[in-house]
Chains A and B, each alone.
Chain A
């Protein structure tokens, strides 16, 4: 019986050792080959404009682009479509898709209910009664013309569904509330070794001294955390500062 505390301590130490190993393991990734599928979390307001500007300089290797919107977002879809149409003129092979998920947090929603709604948006549609539009569910990627011809929007799906269908190599987001459930689920899928995804978070240019709520959360879950002002780089040393990139 005297050895029991020793064993317990050893077990604890062992499990503590596992934590950095798991975290390091996320960093060690094999080289991937292009094209890299990209999941872009667009949000209402300036977020979409900013992220489209970032996308405008990306090469053709990042294709197809899967956009995820909150289902209450009205403006972003038009912006994304016009952006993709312009891009299709320069790159002939350009492909993209649009998906909607339930909004995880409304403006001014309280913290506790935000947690509930975020979980809800991850698990939304798990009940068997829910079906996405059947004739579209097997199609994953559409060319620009095909999306233009689609008469109806796809019904919103859960974050897990979207992640499974898009199977992105890279998630790119810049801070709308919608990106929290998406990145958290991608992180969990990576931890469980189901699907590893590189999460790149670009903090919005509006944030000079403080991070947004999504930024504060995803600082710990993103692989690359990019800030656009030097003050933030000082406060958050793990972040990457590339100058003003928007």
Chain B
């Protein structure tokens, strides 16, 4: 009996091995799984990445109620239904476009009858935000370098909202520097409403484009082409 079970165990093992081979791991080297432990990539924080405000006529009475992810407790006013749209509305913005990433899409809310609404549109991800950025009059974004630079290149005023929960995030460096140089407005989640109410967009400086030509001429000098 014991002999049989051992034999079966062996067979099972062999079968399992063949099975894993058929599945095909992306890396074919047998040592790979032992040397490199699997580390899951960090989840994309469900912080709103970019929100844009475009002032066309009102479309539908919606309020953004984006639920914070349990791992990233967020206190952004954009996650609470009322205050942010009111602040926007008081500044004359009529449409709010949200990129919500992996957080839940805003649900339609019963509209308080007293005030005209800010129309809200939301999407999760897009390949390119260029069109939306082009049509926006104000951009609110996290401190991501890509988002900040893309917006500034389009010449749109930008409010950078810092997520205080991610303090070790090196991308804050860039946002702070851009703020120091006067290209962007800078606030955290709890002061966004105040910033929206008190902001003076005309004080922002236009952002000069980068100069990759300088790099090219530097390389040419290194190689003696000039």
Contact = CB atoms under 8 A, between A and B. Distances in A.
Contacts of A49: 146
B160 to A, nearest CB: 13
A59 B220 contact: yes
A61 B210 contact: no
A212 B36 CA distance: 22
B210 A245 contact: yes
Interface in B158-208: 170-171, 173-174, 176-177, 208
Interface string A29-69: 00110101000000001100100011011110110000000
Given A71-B27, A117-B36, A120-B36, A209 B42 contact: no
Interface stretch (A8-16, A18-26, A106-114, A138-146): A106-114
Contacts of A71: 26-27
The bracket for how many chain A residues form the interface is: 35 or more
The 7 A-B pairs with the shortest beta carbon distances in the complex, nearest first, are A57-B212, A57-B216, A208-B173, A206-B145, A208-B177, A245-B215, A244-B210
B157 to A, nearest CB: 20
A103 B218 CA distance: 30
Contacts of B215: 54, 57, 202, 226, 242, 245
Which DSSP category, helix, strand, loop or mixed, fits chain A's interface? loop
A210 interface: yes
A109 B176 contact: no
A163 interface: no
Interface of B: 26-29, 31-32, 35-37, 39, 41-42, 145-146, 149, 170-171, 173-174, 176-177, 208, 210-216, 218-220, 222-225
A176 to B, nearest CB: 14
Nearest to A78: B127
Given A57-B215, A170-B223, A200-B219, 20 more contacts: A31-B224, A34-B223, A46-B145, A53-B210, A57-B212, A72-B26, A102-B32, A103-B36, A106-B41, A107-B39, A125-B29, A169-B223, A198-B222, A206-B171, A207-B173, A208-B177, A212-B170, A226-B215, A242-B211, A244-B210
